Structure 1
Amino acid sequence: MNEDQALAEIKRVIVQILEDKGEVVPAITADTELLSGALAIDSLDLAMMVSELEGSIGHDPFSHGFIEFRTAGELAKLYAK
């Protein structure tokens, strides 16, 4: 999976989480901050997102420990193979 494909999957999961919460879904780009930004997601939502991505992408970049990321694009780079 390349970075663009990973970002598309991240966007899909974010939209699903926000719609399930009844939140407005803003435009999501590689520069979108995942926490403390325009998205109405919290750390629990982020943990659920990472779990969902591991299942859908089939790769866990955090298997050896936490790697810091802030934006959707930074997370996509971690999932890109």
Structure 2
Amino acid sequence: MTEDQAFEQITAIVQRMLEDKGAKVATIDKNTELLGGAINIDSLDLAMLVRELEDVVGFDPFAEGFIEFRTVGELAKLYAK
């Protein structure tokens, strides 16, 4: 999966999460902060996002331990192979 494909997956998942919560669906770009930024997700939502990405991509970049990330683009890089 390329970084752009990972970004598209992340964007689709986050937008679906926001719709399910009845929250405003925000414009998401690679610089969008995942927590405390323009999108209304919390740490539980973020954990669910990471879990769903693992299912879609087929691997867990966090298997060896936590890797710090803040933005959608940084998360997409972790899932790019």
Matches of 1:45 and 1:38, distance apart in 2:
14
- Any unmatched runs of 5+ in structure 2? none
1:9 aligned onto 2:15: no
* Structure 2: distance between partners of 1:59 and 1:39: 25
Aligned to 1:41: 41
Task: Specify the alignment match of 1:73 in structure 2.
Answer: 73
**What letter corresponds to residue 56 of structure 2 in structure 1?**
S
Identical-residue share of aligned pairs (%): 63
Q: Deviations over 1:37-59 (max 9, x none)?
A: 01100000000000000001112
Aligned residue type for 2:71 = T
Q: CA RMSD in A?
A: 0.5
User: Distance in 2 between the 1:18 and 1:4 partners?
Assistant: 21
SS in 1 for 2:27: coil
Alignment coverage as a number of residue pairs? 81
Q: Distance in 2 between matches of 1:5 and 1:49?
A: 15
- Residue 75 of structure 2 aligns with an amino acid whose one-letter code is L
| Whole-angstrom distance in 1 between the partners of 2:12 and 2:57 | 12
Secondary structure of 2:48's partner? helix
Amino acid in structure 2 at the alignment position of 1:72: V
Aligned partners of 1:59 and 1:8: how far apart in 2? 17
